Amino acid sequence: MDIVFATSNPGKAREARHILGKGLRISRLELDEIQSMYTAEVAKHKAREAYRIIGRPVFVEDTGLHIKSLNGFPGPLVKWALRGMGYEGICRAVGRGRDRGAYAETCVALCDGKRVRSFTARIYGTVPLRPVGSGGFGWDCIFVPNGHKRTFAQMDLQEKSAISMRGRALLRLKGFIGARDKTVRKRIK
C-alpha cells in the first residue's frame, strides 16, 4: 500500500520516518482540528480531511496528554493549552502534593477513501514539577514515562521511539499495512 503521512509537524515526521522507514512520504498539510477530548475522534476527522485534499491513501496522527488531577485535561487540546499556559503553567496547574499521574495517547488514523482505520496506543507516566530537557518537541519536556527517570525531552529519538505511544501506534499501523500487502500479493499470484 502506497500511503502518505499528512503532518505539518517536523518532529512527528522525523519520528514516523524512524519507525516506518526513510522512504515515507510526507505531505506538510495544515489540517483543521475539531475540538474534542478524544484523540481518535480528532485523528479520524483529520484523516478524512487529508484524504479529501490529497485524494490518495493517507494517515495522520493526533496525540493527547491526559493529566489525572486535572480530570484528563488537556488531553488532545494540549497544543492549545501550551499556547495559553506554556510548559511551566501546565506543571503548576497540576500543583504540588497532588497526583501527578498522566497518560499520553496517540491515535494514528488511516483513510483509504472508503474507510478510516485507527491504531491507538497509550503510555503512562507523570508530569514533573517543572519542564526538564531540551530535546524532542511538543510537550516532551513535561512527561516522564513510568519506569524511567527522564522526560521524553531528555531521550534520544531511538530511546523515545522504542517506548512512546506514537512509536507503538505507528508499529500497529505498520503491522496492518504489512498484513494487508501480503494478502494483496497472495491474490495476485
pLDDT tens track for 25-74: 999 988 988 989 999 999 999 999 999 999 999 999 999 999 999 999 99
pLDDT class for 182, splitting at 50, 70, 90?
Answer: low
The amino acid sitting at 65 is L
Question: Following CA atoms 36, 61, 172, 140 in sequence, which dihedral angle do they give, to the nearest 10 degrees?
Answer: -90
Residue 1 has pLDDT above 70, yes or no: no
The values of phi and psi at residue 84, to 5°, are -85, -35
Q: CATH no. for residue 27?
A: 3.90.950.10
Average pLDDT of the residues in 132-155: 96
Residue numbers annotated as active site: 62
Cell of 42: 480528532
Q: What is the pLDDT of residue 28?
A: 94
DSSP-derived letter for residue 28 is -
Total tally of structural domains belonging to the chain: 1
Report the DSSP beta bridge partners of residue 92. none
Please count the CA atoms within 13 angstroms of the CA of 105 that sit on its side-chain side.
22
The values of phi and psi at residue 132, to 5°, are -140, 130
pLDDT class for 179, splitting at 50, 70, 90?
Answer: confident
What is the span of the domain harbouring residue 181?
4-188
